[in-house]
Every structure is written in structure tokens, then in C-alpha cells.
Amino acid sequence: MTLSTAAALAKLFGQYLLQPIPFTLTFLLPLLFRLIARKYIWLTLPLTALAEVLLNWDSFCYYEARGLALLFTLTQLAAMAVFVRILQAAAKNSR
């Protein structure tokens, strides 16, 4: 994969994550869980996966779009896992 292809993919994933619903699920939901119940912040990952499947059901069912929908969902979950880990590290440092 060339550098321009990798840059184009990174830009595409960035644009996807900045849309309202993925942004809310990826960044705001963990922040909300951190404020309400820090112990259960990891529950945001399966909740987001379930919400993504339900919201993008048509993409997951259509055979040509299934791979791309799965790639975007897994990328979103990876970014979310990193964000949750950062929130947990910040909580440990603040104690």
C-alpha cells in the first residue's frame, strides 16, 4: 500500500468518525459513562457495536457493502478502545 493510499484511507476514516452518530458513539458515550459509572466504561464497546450493527443493518446485509461496513465498524471500535484506555489512564493519574 502506497503512502497516498494510506493517507486517503486515514482521511476517509477521519471523516467517518466525525459524523454525528459515530462521533457520539465513539467519544461522547465513553465520556458519559466515565461521569456516571467509571467501573462500567468498557460496556460502551459492546453497546456501540450493537448500535452500529442496528444502525447500519442495510450495509451489513448488502453483500457488496458488507466488507466496508465491517471495516468502518472495527476501526470505530479500535479508536473507541484507545479513547477508553486514555480515559482510564487519566482517571488513575487523577487519584
Residue for grid cell 493517507:
7
CA–CA distance from 82 to each of 27, 44, 75, 91, 93 (Å)?
Answer: 10, 12, 11, 14, 17
78-90 residue pLDDT tens: 999 999 999 888 8
Query: Distance between CA 65 and CA 48 in Å, rounded?
Result: 20
DSSP annotation of 19:
S
For the chain, the domains span 3-94
- The three cell numbers of residue 89 are 489512564
pLDDT exceeds cutoff 80 at 94 = no
Stretch 5-31: mean pLDDT = 82
pLDDT exceeds cutoff 70 at 95 = no
Element (H, E) at 69: helix 66-94
Q: Say what the pLDDT of residue 1 is.
A: 60
Mean pLDDT of all residues in the chain? 85
Stretch 9-23: mean pLDDT = 79
Q: Which amino acid is at 48?
A: T
pLDDT exceeds cutoff 80 at 44 = yes
Residue for grid cell 487519584:
95
* pLDDT cut 90: percent of the chain above it: 21
Stretch 50-58: mean pLDDT = 89
Query: Distance between CA 24 and CA 80 in Å, rounded?
Result: 11
